A and B are shown apart, each in its own frame.
Chain A
Amino acid sequence: MDTKHTRIAICADSENPKDDVASRFARCEFYGVYNHKSLSFNFEENKAKNEMSGAGAKAAKQIYDLGVTAVLVPEIGPKAFEALEAFEIEVYRYSQTYSVRDAIYDYYEKKLQRVLASTKTGKHA
């Protein structure tokens, strides 16, 4: 099992790990933070979700402040990716709709691909 990251964030639209993962990174409702040491989930409201602009970079900052070093995303824009990279947060991508818990399992089974460049065009590019 990969134990490099103590805290892993994942995009969620509810506060229940049994519910589906979110389909957007910067404008999802919550970030689920899985703590590898305590084996527990914590959900934090996404403070960037209603920003007019720059939600991606702001979300990256929030995730960093939560002590997270890896994040699981559905897709990622260029500015958000640049910010996550600068915060030295690793990005992994899920490409199906399943529960938050299942996505975390997939991460530990190394089924999620590491993202090394933004996966979509930004709104302002």
Chain B
Amino acid sequence: MKIAILSGKGGTGKTTLSVNLFSCLKQGTLIDTDTEEPNSHIFIKPTNEVITNIYKNHPVVNKDLCSFCGKCGEYCNFNAIIPTKTKVLVFEDFCHDCGLCEMVCPNNAITYKTKVIGEVFSSHLENKSFHYGKLKIGEVSGVRVINKLNEISKEDGLVLVDCPPGVSCSTVEALRGSDYAIVCAEPTPFGVSDMTMVVELLREENIEFGVVVNKSGIGNNQIYEYLEEENIELLENIPWTKERAALYSTGNLIADKDPIFNEKMEHILQKVLGDNYDQ
């Protein structure tokens, strides 16, 4: 069973929720797919990590063989290769590594060059596994890194996914194959606005979901009205307290030190996993 934790807006508590729910499990896997800014590991504190490189290819044009026929540019869907009057320009960032330009080149002037775009860090402790991905600075898309995280965890029984914020390609990739989604939202106008995009995405992908309102007590009641109007299940309501913020800011698991918070985590797991939740 794969459960995605996502939010739309950043900073609502996806990681807080992910790592604390994970800490309540006896067995399972957590993957942090926020490859631009992963931070679950700050709380999990993994040891003996195994690092796997993630690669991407992009075309390189051999000037001596190129006849400037322009085919590569005509076929590229992403404007990643633009034949000009004087040379063939390659924009690595735009390339999706599809291989089409190499195929259509009549002069075999195009070859592919490989580069490392990110890394996956894997660790195991007793019956639990934790993997997170990190995109290299300057790279534009974490999709390949997330794809690797999905691949290495696909055989695992229970997988929690700490998703990236927003509803971009990265989030869609992180959601892939999820059986259920927990939307972690904050009761502010921005929180509600960004959550509606996530709700739209989940409905489109046909993924069942419920909402955890984190940091309740701040903002306003708009979020509760929205949930009622849209007939969305409120899984849990977690009040904001200074103590919780302090624990988080020092890299601690709140569930370890705050019994009420811990109870809320268990309550969420019971609701989501039902009989599958082994306390």
Residues of A within 8 A of B (CB): 48, 51-55, 57-58, 60-61, 64, 79, 82-83, 86-88, 124
- Asked if B79 and A86 sit within 8 Å, CB to CB, the answer is no
| A85 → B minimal CB distance (Å) | 8
Question: Among B78, B84, B93, B140, which residue has its beta carbon within 8 angstroms of that of A86?
Answer: B84
Contacts of A58 in B (CB 8 A): 79, 82
13 further interface pairs, Cβ-Cβ under 8 Å (given A53-B79, A54-B78, A57-B79): A51-B79, A53-B94, A54-B91, A57-B89, A57-B91, A60-B84, A64-B85, A82-B89, A86-B84, A86-B86, A86-B89, A87-B85, A124-B140
For the complex, what is the distance from the CA of A58 to the CA of B84, rounded to whole Å? 10
Q: Nearest residue in B to A61 (C-beta to C-beta)?
A: B82
- Chain A CB within 8 A of B191 CB: no
Residues of B within 8 A of A (CB): 73, 78-80, 82, 84-87, 89, 91, 93-94, 140
Contacts of B85 in A (CB 8 A): 64, 86-88
**What are 29 A-B residue pairs whose CB atoms fall within 8 Å in the complex?**
A48-B79, A51-B79, A52-B78, A53-B78, A53-B93, A53-B94, A54-B78, A54-B82, A54-B94, A55-B79, A57-B89, A58-B79, A60-B82, A60-B84, A61-B73, A61-B82, A64-B84, A79-B91, A82-B89, A83-B82, A83-B89, A86-B82, A86-B87, A87-B84, A87-B86, A88-B86, A124-B93, A124-B94, A124-B140
Contacts of B86 in A (CB 8 A): 86-88
| A25 → B minimal CB distance (Å) | 14
Q: Is the interface of B mostly helix, strand, loop or mixed?
A: loop
Most buried by B among A57, A58, A83: A57
| B135 → A minimal CB distance (Å) | 14
| A61 → B minimal CB distance (Å) | 6
Contacts of B91 in A (CB 8 A): 54, 57, 79
| B105 → A minimal CB distance (Å) | 17
- Asked if B93 and A57 sit within 8 Å, CB to CB, the answer is no
Contacts of A64 in B (CB 8 A): 84-85
Contacts of B82 in A (CB 8 A): 54, 57-58, 60-61, 83, 86
